[in-house]
Amino acid sequence: MSDVNKVVLAYSGGLDTSVIVRWLQDNYQCEVVTFTADIGQGEEVEPARAKAKALGVQEIYIDDLREEFVRDFVFPMFRANTLYEGEYLLGTSIARPLIAKRLIEIANETGADAISHGATGKGNDQVRFELGAYALKPGIKVIAPWREWNMTSRETLMAYCKERDIPVDFSSAKKKSPYSMDANLLHISYEGGILEDPWAEAEEDMWRWSVSPETAPDAPTYIELDYQHGDIVAIDGQAMSPATVLETLNKVGGANGIGRDDIVENRYVGMKSRGCYETPGGTIMLKAHRAIESLTLDREVAHLKDELMPRYANMIYNGYWWSPERRMLQAAIDSSQQVVNGKVRLKLYKGNVIVAGRQSADSLFDESIATFEEDAGAYDQKDAEGFIKLNALRMRIAANKGRSPL
């Protein structure tokens, strides 16, 4: 007899998680609660309710988490100008701690003693889901079917469905995209298929959110973003919620061929993986945020943030959003953002995000000092002589001791 009485499953309504529902019922003789999150994946989530009911599920959660996702996860990440390995905007990674949080909340609400997910044993998501779950509920049991069962392909999953009369649309399952895709308000990712050959160029018809830069409009699009404390609060003067900001930037960015990326990344479990990503809104946000920070942040604060960013990015990529070290760094990052206020004007053109202007009441740019024209004594150029000699002192001493670099 299984020691699991009730399990909360992260449920998409697709082939894999539909199989998991029945597999959990058969192998653990437990009640299954399904949880489906709307985080802006662009597909209807309500049909998951009917699919879960057809599988005998009594407790079904379908939650609209779009605002929470952008406000509490995406925006804080972008305050750090976060990039993993210099390229990846972490679209999949940043959604996982929110899903883990909600799984644990539902487990507490329903009295479940386990959670389950459909992540495979080869990927990063198993780590992200489970690290988050253990951080939030240390004693929770996690069931990861892909690490337990012997099914290894879509064909074996469909055979399991036929054997057990699991209601799955086999025609749509067979017509499924050749790519493994993950989408939310921040991005859509593509893996598998021809992308498993790093030399093969991605097919043009694979991309769903953006036009190619070659076919983007010949005239640029200008937009203005208003910032408060490091977050975008308005576009072209119109106040917007966090989710609406990202939805709007995705549309205008995708229409101008912005946000495509093709990466070979290092997974936390040890292997290299090739993936393609569309992140139009995020690409715009990163460029604009760095622009407003360039005007408002102290030099050493900005440089320290840049030094810390790769560590912060690794924490998110590897699943440590709920860790004490990430929360400590977030407090420092958020403190720096109190002065990151103002406006950035951008020109979007054929895949490019070009800064066309920036202004802020908190600007540290002093035209009277920076000017190439007459500065009326605001800056004494003679001061530079002593500054240079003092900074050269250690090198001059070393050279006098015969330690010349030549």
SS3 state of residue 170: helix
Residue of 16, 182, 261, 262 with catalytic role: 16
Residue of 66, 102, 125, 336 marked catalytic: 125
- What dihedral angle (degrees, nearest 10) is formed by the CA atoms of 326, 327, 332, 334? 110
Alpha-helical (H) ranges within 29-73 are 47-54, 66-69
Distance from C-alpha of 57 to C-alpha of 127, rounded to nearest angstrom: 27
Active site residue 63: no
3-state secondary structure of 281: helix
- Give the position of tokens 């990326």: 261
Radius of gyration, alpha carbons of the chain: 25
For residue 143, the cross-strand partners are 116
Our answer to whether residue 360 is catalytic in this structure is no
- Considering 96, 102, 274, 326, which one is annotated as catalytic? 96
Catalytic residue among 71, 72, 180, 375: 180
Q: Is 180 a catalytic residue?
A: yes
DSSP string, 97-112: HHHHHHHHHHHHHHT-
The yes-or-no answer on residue 16 being catalytic is yes
**Nearest CA to 146 among 253, 17, 303, 273?**
17
Rounded to whole angstroms, the Cα distance separating 41 from 48 reads 14
Helices of type H across 71-207: 75-79, 96-110, 125-136, 154-163, 170-174
**CA atoms of 30 and 57, how far apart (whole Å):** 11
Task: Supply the DSSP symbol for 124.
Answer: S
Active site residues: 16, 96, 125, 180
